[in-house]
Amino acid sequence: MQPTKIPVLWYRTGEYTKKISNCAELRMYATLFHMNTPTHQTRLSREDYLLISVLLAVTLIFRLWTVMMIHTGIDERDYWYSAKAISQGAAIEYPYINHRTVRWGVIVPVAVQQLITGVSPNAYYTMPILNALVQTLLLYLLGRKLFGKKTAVLATLCLIFFPYQIRAASQVRPEIFSLTYILAMVYFFSGYVFGTDARKQIRSLMLSALMLFFAYQAKITNLFFMPGMFVLIFLQKPQKKIPHSILFGAIPLAGFILETLIYR
């Protein structure tokens, strides 16, 4: 039986235009179009919420299962006691100023956590594990937006079971905080690239720049991401590359100036 003829339609895909002349072809290309629809244009579905819940549960269970003893090296000591000096007030003298005791992207969140949970040994693991959970959420959302659900799940599982994460998610160190800030930076930047509302695009760009500054506050070498972000702005928004690049760079610069004034 011959497929039912329909009025001639034209399906444009990339570099060529194809003529569609029957229902079978129409169904095939409709399916193809649906599969290729960018996920950043759709809201989270029930399946997304289920996948996120499962991934968060796996993250929490695996992090608790593989948690390591608290290291007592100079790095771990300085971060924890710097935060403790803030959360406990004048009861503890702030450690000497060096490149570790001014990493506010690590110290300030831990100080806030200490105000809530106290400073017992078990409370030490709160922020590393919380960061791991936030990273799972951000990586799934980012992977879904850019590549689809399957890639998002696979990437998230790779992060969860990545061997170095066992150590990173067990210690108060810059590594576990840095990844959270960098993922947030890229996630907000994707909102800037794929957004359709101009105001929301600018807001996303500003939030992305702010996350880069927070990443710098966790570890200065995170600034090496900045040139790459400028390249992306030039590639993705060539019409607005200069003003948007200036805006993206101005926010971390303002943070640097403010930080310097505080030290003075």
Six-digit token string for 61: 């269970």
Q: What is the pTM of this model?
A: 0.83
Q: What is the mean pLDDT of each run of 10 residues along the chain (264 residues)?
A: 46 45 55 48 85 98 95 86 87 78 93 94 94 98 94 97 94 96 97 92 97 96 96 94 96 94 80
Kindly state the percentage of the chain with pLDDT values over 90: 68
pLDDT at 30: 52
pLDDT at 16: 41
- Model confidence over 31-74: pLDDT tens digits? 544 443 455 556 888 999 999 999 999 999 999 999 999 888 88
What's the Cα-to-Cα distance from 62 to each of 49, 57, 71, 130, 204, rounded to whole Å? 20, 8, 19, 13, 32
User: 207: which residues sit within 8 A by CB, 6+ positions away?
Assistant: 184, 188, 191
* Number of other CB atoms surrounding residue 204 within 10 Å: 20
- Model confidence over 239-259: pLDDT tens digits? 999 999 999 999 999 999 998
Identify the H or E element spanning 254: helix 241-263
